[in-house]
Chain A
């Protein structure tokens, strides 16, 4: 066909123009195919992550809520989601729908958990030994505490150089003075003879100074744990066991447990090992090397935890292992922790074989009863004890901090923390108040630390003296850090009686098996709706909305994307960015093709005039131009589609590694394997076709209007 020949010749004849348009179109179509396929795959993997972990397909919550439900947004205080009135009714109604599989009640919040630092633990053990009259043990422990005080003194002195904050200078001086007292020989000389006062002094003034004091910031979801386990297919218990059905219980997110509850030195070693296993080198990777440096500075974390005998024992083993003569435990440990690519695996092994058994590897152990302190909706301080049954993770997202952000607890404990005391809990509280005499506050300094310690004090110290106001006053502003220690907070928690190990609070409660009716009734702030297999999200959503509306229930229904918060919106944003980029590229292509074609009509006026003179109709000229740009567009469109498809197929084979935690979550695993979707190929084609036609319409009409006379006369 002659027109095609002319078009091809013209395309070949104008190389620069062809190249520019070709690049644009190739790139544009590649972007459509690659970007579209990536995002669609990402959308699927995200759906899998989010639906399969905490959100379910839909979430429902009070339409009068002040805040929006956003699971994966950074916490900005406790969101006020209101409550689902009469959850059992809602659940029954929705589960009756054929589209709905199940409805899982939820509530999420956060709390600070003070996991006692080693000073705390040792001082408490000391107090216990004294109480029991175990003099031998008390002596060892006293020495251990004294050793730790010395170490503490050194580190605080060292810190003095740069911690020079004016607002707490006085306190700092007081701390140092107290420390000096506690370190003095006089303090310890007659310690075992008159310990009571001194133990209190240690508990109140010294323990909180220890730098390894750990504040755990926990975000948790309170839920019907059995329903949760059954409905979120990615959920799996890692350590310990599942919370028994109907019981109170807590499951740590494995991620949080390994990263925050674990001893820091051990945690860093794990991090390094993981990196070395994936082929990185300490020598080459500054991120890995910095962990070595940090560990070398943190030998105290280990030494703090050992008494004199254990320290001596370890030193001997270390001298043997390292074949050195060093006597000083600090130096020895520092040398040991100074690892390199060659000796890392041997030392890692040594650490877990010889050192780990001597220290507290996890600050909260599985089987422990965890005390969670929080402020209720009405602003009053509360605390509950809950047994830690184990840890869990979402399959495929082991390494994601985002996926690991939530720990899990039963609905009853959640409600207690939320501030709506269950009837049985209330009764128990009354009983406890009656027995005032036995009140024992072993961790009063813990509360002190919680709101006044040097680290993390600013996290969230709600104004303690706020009245028992409405729920809206909960999100108290963070206290100006350190400027004024809200000591009233201490008093408030003092009223909440938390006896050790939860024997008193809850010995009975913690063993109770709650019936389903009790789990479902009471505060439920939001609920996940799992749709039946194969039900389209929008169809399911419409069905749920319809039924709720008919029942006159004022509930918001949001899909997993909205419910996931920033993460879900992230994909929306990326779609918009991609869409804009494609739009811009094709707009530019459109303008350039248009311009170059207009130029071509001018350049080729004589030629077109000649064609018209010797008998070509206008439509012929029109066709000639349209074919030219279509050939250009479709040709490079095919090239771009082909390149893009090849790239996607290639990426689908090797996978795109999740280089950051966010990606890990979005990819629902370590790699994203993009899939080529025919839809995007078709889109790319349609877009290219439309753009090349649209861009030539004007120049083609211009060309068709060229008069045959233009062929006459002399050449210009």
Chain B
């Protein structure tokens, strides 16, 4: 199977006044197509930093980030933007919907940026996706008229509308209650299973982690365990594995 994301010896340092804060230290990692991967680790361990690098919204201090076979260091700002538009989907912790647009328009937005499809095609794709995420009755609701779970569904639909190869989600359930969070992960999982989209998401929540094929653990900017790569992206016995690996005291402390 092909790797859609490869990180080799990636370090990231943030300048903080005169100091430099090392957020990632010599991280190497590869994620195959169709995986459903969770990034776990305590606060400040570098989860967001890692996702930002994979998402091409940030650049590493050293090391190489290869996304879908492309070395991101060689791409221009414009090309990186293009790459995000075509190959990546984002699900944000705070949903990040465009407040002045309604559900339909929010989901449609990336398609408009691409400008490849006709109005009719867009309508079909968006409607289908909204049905899929259970929002076929909410086309014309503005974000502030939706609940948190509904908003995140809109965000998921938006992330998927361009049929990206990889969907990145930084703590997608952090702002949701447990039940809703579970449903969101279920939704993501089912899309992963039916469409083969690669999902990489970070979380603190052990119950969320259970759904992952594989859990990559970070601590202090280093990978402490990168789990097993699932043979075919199916869940199988992975959840147990994850739970076993998860350090109980840390989870309890969250």
Contact = CB atoms under 8 A, between A and B. Distances in A.
B166 to A, nearest CB: 13
Interface of B is mostly: helix
A77 to B, nearest CB: 71
Interface in A508-567: none
Nearest to A713: B48
Interface stretch (B108-116, B130-138, B211-219): B108-116
Given A714-B93, A715-B94, A616 B99 contact: no
A617 B78 contact: yes
A614 B48 contact: no
Q: Taking chain A's interface residues, is the majority helix, strand, or loop, or is none over half, making it mixed?
A: helix
Nearest to B100: A9
Q: Size range of the interface on A?
A: 20 to 34
Interface in A13-28: 13
A714 B94 contact: yes
B164 to A, nearest CB: 10
Contacts of B51: 712
B81 A616 contact: yes
B110 A709 contact: no
Contacts of B243: none
A616 B98 CA distance: 13
Contacts of A715: 93-94
Contact of B92 (A9, A611, A712): A712
A611 B58 CA distance: 15
Contact of A2 (B57, B92, B112): B112
Given A2-B105, A2-B112, A709-B57, A615 B82 contact: yes
A16 to B, nearest CB: 16
Most chain A CB within a 10 A radius of its CB, from B77, B86, B100, B170: B100
Given A614-B113, A615-B110, A709-B58, A607 B48 contact: no
Interface in A677-716: 707-709, 711-715
A5 B55 contact: no
B170 A712 contact: yes
Contacts of A393: none
A10 interface: yes
A300 interface: no
Contacts of A463: none
A121 interface: no
Contacts of A611: 98, 109
A352 interface: no
Interface string A599-616: 000000011001111111
Question: Could you say which of A606, A612, A613, A714 has the most chain B C-beta atoms within 10 Å of its C-beta?
Answer: A613
B85 interface: yes
Given A6-B98, A607-B99, A610-B98, A615 B92 contact: no
A607 B90 CA distance: 13
A607 B57 contact: no
A531 B92 CA distance: 77
A613 B93 contact: no
B129 to A, nearest CB: 15
A201 interface: no
Contacts of B176: none
B89 to A, nearest CB: 8
Contacts of A617: 78, 81
B123 to A, nearest CB: 14
A13 B98 contact: no
A167 interface: no
A610 B96 contact: yes
B246 to A, nearest CB: 23
Given A615-B82, A712-B170, A620 B58 contact: no
Interface string B157-174: 011001000000010001
B101 interface: yes
A5 B51 CA distance: 32
Most buried by A among B98, B99, B170: B98
Interface of A: 2, 5-6, 9-10, 13, 606-607, 610-618, 620, 707-709, 711-715
29 contacts: A2-B109, A6-B100, A9-B101, A13-B99, A606-B94, A606-B96, A610-B90, A610-B98, A612-B57, A613-B55, A614-B84, A614-B85, A614-B89, A614-B90, A614-B110, A614-B159, A615-B82, A615-B84, A615-B110, A617-B81, A618-B81, A711-B57, A711-B96, A712-B57, A712-B93, A712-B170, A714-B93, A714-B94, A715-B94
Given A2-B112, A9-B101, 20 more contacts: A9-B100, A607-B96, A607-B99, A610-B90, A613-B57, A613-B90, A615-B82, A615-B86, A615-B114, A618-B77, A618-B81, A707-B57, A708-B81, A708-B84, A709-B52, A711-B92, A712-B57, A713-B48, A713-B93, A714-B174
The 3 closest A-B pairs by CB, nearest first: A615-B85, A9-B100, A708-B57
